[in-house]
Structure 1
């Protein structure tokens, strides 16, 4: 066995969890004691294995030698706080314990707690751990958040060292109580950098954005002195689908990108074809596990031309559009959720990674701008694909997009936002007359990795309350991280002011917070002002993830306003048994979307190639949102 720890990463929606689970099954079938752990806040392991898993190491019923665990951020936080506070309670008076407990009430404690639990598996002491494993597989969150996770050992070690030289305080408690954590993080970092122990597997599909994200991620890991990379190129169109022009066109597109992967990413790789159904359940996972052992698979060779244009409109005629829209709500109901009315309209596109949130966001923003609405398109996703889809550069500040009047776009850079955020908060403290000693303590608290999340959130709020826009379209991070972002305003008084304003006048901070964020909370909860659009493709995992997210948002008074079903195979394309099987699967789940969600449904068809560039976005927007006389 070459590696003890295997990290799976990649752009959302490329099949990362499926490949991680299949790899875990592969190792287990070969007799190795295997554990698969997910660090994704929106975990899907239970859905793939079709059994409950949760926050404890759980045996997989159908497969010997295989266990799984889904790290739950809330439970990890309670465990982390207990480990930190219990020793303090035994030594210090209740007043001091209360101060430390208050310090640990912020959202960054949740981040470090989940991370801390993750590092347990990298530095586990076999003498104290009842289970021992030959292989530990990590199914991580989509790439941007994975890089963030892997940066944390070095960042928290640095933060603790700086705090030790100053006040001895961090945003996760006194340094005296977390020295063991510092040692553990140093050990975790050493393990991650050891190519003999740790392997990074990037799952990607033969598409431009997926390739670029993989390249960026590998560059970042190399900067962190992490190496030993392998690729799984997933979703390759099989020969059984090539008689269908739509899939033949997509296969032709894939051939170009497979050549790009071979030249730009010269790492060991395996290729996996697209299956005619979902990858879930132990039987299908065993099938995929056996297929992973064949590293010589190649893409089909296309020698004929394919007669479809970018949107496949010679196949999807007006008559065909009627069939394509059969699962959609009336156009008027869809437009009511995206067009501004007497209020500015703020649209949040949310969902599992890889479901097409960025495309849906860009198509909607471009269409709104072309209707004359002054529109801001914004992303909070660390992967930041707006520029890739728009085909133009997108920076940290709103910039007007050439070629589309009334459209501006921006990509929040968390690191830059954090720098600006620290300066603003410290300047504010000085204006309030706080002593330099208190400001120094505050600077130490702000010099922590979690400040980036706080700062990105702060920038999000700036745009949310900014005047002058008719429509604001948010392309959000994948579901779990989106929920953390959207719940922050509601939790402000309990969490954020403790972290950010710990050394500033509390009453002033509280008044500032309530005035600023009360407006945002009201906006998010008001369906006349905001629409939460869940993007998904018609399969179990994205539907279940969207349903869970909708239930969680309902607890803070937010309801979904629009469901966007993406990658729907047009009925006209069902000309082979392979395509017919996938379409039948989709029809089942399209009906389930309607049953689970009390919101209008918009369907976006599977297209012959990637959606990118303003011309294609404009055409797709007209196809989706313009009235069709034949249907009215």
Structure 2
């Protein structure tokens, strides 16, 4: 058992950066840390760059990018940097001067290149670099906490000499996210000072937040290694939401506990070398200051009370009705989409089996490692009308990188280093994998169910690069015919159905909403939302889990009433790794 996390004894540096997979509780842990430090008489500034941040609700005040005193907590100040707004301003500053000088299609291409995650992150980093580079900040605050840290990829880009040269303006190599650094101007010295602060172990601690789940621990491990390589080595891990069952006879609680314990036994070796603390799975939502204080107190789980409204949500369809809908409409291409850890592979597998049982020939393909696909159908026969393949992202990415570098022509050492780093962006994997998907979908004899799809940004990059090529007569990389054919098919609702998979929690729902808006920019509207792993739907009677189940209702209603035209609900524990027969029984139930 790991030591409980107590900021008053475990925080040792003036700067703290919180990072982790979406939905692990970064904002909650950052807020609880800030309140605890302020309660000790420390002067604290909490800066959020999380688009899904609920700081304003927690502190019951309006927040802007300018630090403001929190009336209910002495010594605490907070600011909320909207990264999307920062990115819009950054994008306009970069693209604006060219609007009347270049053809509209070229300007549109520039805007799309600056619409990806890299640009949002760099714009946010630009905002808080002012704080990191400001020596006077030590005089004003004892601690500055940043909710959401930059990735190693972004920080490596900022340290490359070519990122600050004219090469960015001249390059036509066709890399994944061209130009996110083109608006940096003369900020190199400020960024270097910020980087020096980040890598100074006496000043900065990287706090990785994870849940006791395999996917979030692997993400924390990746971030730890990636950021450690560029000198950010003073790290700690906080495992949030470690469950202790109240009711030993509750089946849901028993399985919930067992799964967490299995994940904790498999913590990656690198993470085991880092000082690690835990926070308990609590029956309340961390949406007010009282609960922020409680979770880092000596008695974080006091009496369990279900304080959420008791009104039930309107009944939602099951996954069977999703399958029935796709079968009746003979939808030929089905994507499951969502952030990592929400259960896309399970949902895709269940849909594939359901359609097979309805007499369709189905091909299921995924980017998960092959062993995960095998686990889905372990020790069971697979129907002769269902075929399964697995696309290895690493292989596809390496092939794509080699192709782009080969087409880039002669580059000097710095230019090649920048190009290689640019190709390490998330967009590269999306484009490379999508090209592989396109080859699979090119066969029109089967319904193709695809686990994980590209974002709207990537689809627009693929689409606009063709227009850019025609307008400027410059090569940005050849688009395979299978990709060219697939883009229009994805926009045709009679052929393609997108299923957004989420969890009944704040961050996964907000992230899924942003994903949907991104797709709509590419003229793709999801057919269904699937709310996965619902404790509310599972009917648990464990007091802690039942109290948490009550907090899910507002997010289920938000999906049902505001975000989706059609939504389905899957109970916690239902869509798990199973065999073909188990999936068949589940879908038919």
In the alignment, what sits opposite 1:204? 210
Provide Cα deviations, 1:154-186, integer angstroms capped at 9, x if missing partner.
33432527956x7984654998x8563333443
Q: Does the residue aligned with 1:233 lie in a helix, a strand or coil?
A: strand
In the alignment, what sits opposite 1:310? none
Report deviation, 1:419: 1.4
Task: Figure out how many residues of one structure are paired with residues of the other and give that number.
Answer: 548
Change (3 A) 1:442 1:255: closer
Report deviation, 1:407: 0.5
Return the TM-score normalized by structure 1: 0.70
> 2:65 & 2:130 partners in 1: Cα distance?
19
* Equivalences for residues 299-448 of structure 1 within 5 A: 327-329=315-317, 333-339=321-327, 342=330, 344-350=332-338, 352-365=339-352, 373-379=361-367, 386-387=369-370, 389-390=372-373, 404=382, 406-413=387-394, 416=398, 418-423=400-405, 425-426=407-408, 446=419
Structure 1 vs Structure 2 CA RMSD: 4.9
Change (3 A) 1:168 1:547: closer
Report deviation, 1:67: 0.6
Report deviation, 1:76: 2.8
Provide Cα deviations, 1:232-267, integer angstroms capped at 9, x if missing partner.
222222343434232133324434444555986143
Establish whether residue 75 from structure 1 lines up as the match of residue 83 from structure 2. Answer: no
Report deviation, 1:335: 1.0
> 1:474 & 1:131 partners in 2: Cα distance?
54
The answer on whether the counterparts of 1:43 and 1:70 sit within 8 Å (CA) in structure 2 is no
Match of 1:138 among 125, 142, 146: 146
The answer on whether the counterparts of 1:25 and 1:66 sit within 8 Å (CA) in structure 2 is no
Report deviation, 1:45: 4.8
Provide Cα deviations, 1:352-384, integer angstroms capped at 9, x if missing partner.
5543334333444566578763424334xxxxx
Provide Cα deviations, 1:519-545, integer angstroms capped at 9, x if missing partner.
545333332222222222223443344
Q: Does the residue aligned with 1:406 lie in a helix, a strand or coil?
A: strand
Establish whether residue 230 from structure 1 lines up as the match of residue 241 from structure 2. Answer: no
* Equivalences for residues 36-185 of structure 1 within 5 A: 36-40=46-50, 45=55, 53=63, 57=67, 60=70, 62-64=72-74, 65-79=76-90, 82=93, 105-108=111-114, 111-112=118-119, 114-122=121-129, 124=131, 125-126=133-134, 132-140=140-148, 149-158=151-160, 160=162, 163=165, 169=170, 172=179, 180-185=186-191
Establish whether residue 468 from structure 1 lines up as the match of residue 449 from structure 2. Answer: no
Report deviation, 1:60: 4.7
Change (3 A) 1:25 1:100: farther
In the alignment, what sits opposite 1:10? 20
The answer on whether the counterparts of 1:58 and 1:69 sit within 8 Å (CA) in structure 2 is no
Report deviation, 1:219: 2.9
Provide Cα deviations, 1:424-464, integer angstroms capped at 9, x if missing partner.
6448xxxxxxxx89x99997985562674453343344245
Which 5+ residue runs of structure 2 have no aligned equivalent? 1-10, 172-177, 302-311
> 1:39 & 1:353 partners in 2: Cα distance?
20
In the alignment, what sits opposite 1:593? 559
The answer on whether the counterparts of 1:215 and 1:265 sit within 8 Å (CA) in structure 2 is no
Establish whether residue 193 from structure 1 lines up as the match of residue 168 from structure 2. Answer: no
Return the TM-score normalized by structure 2: 0.74
Report deviation, 1:606: 1.7
In the alignment, what sits opposite 1:303? none
Match of 1:489 among 441, 459, 464: 459
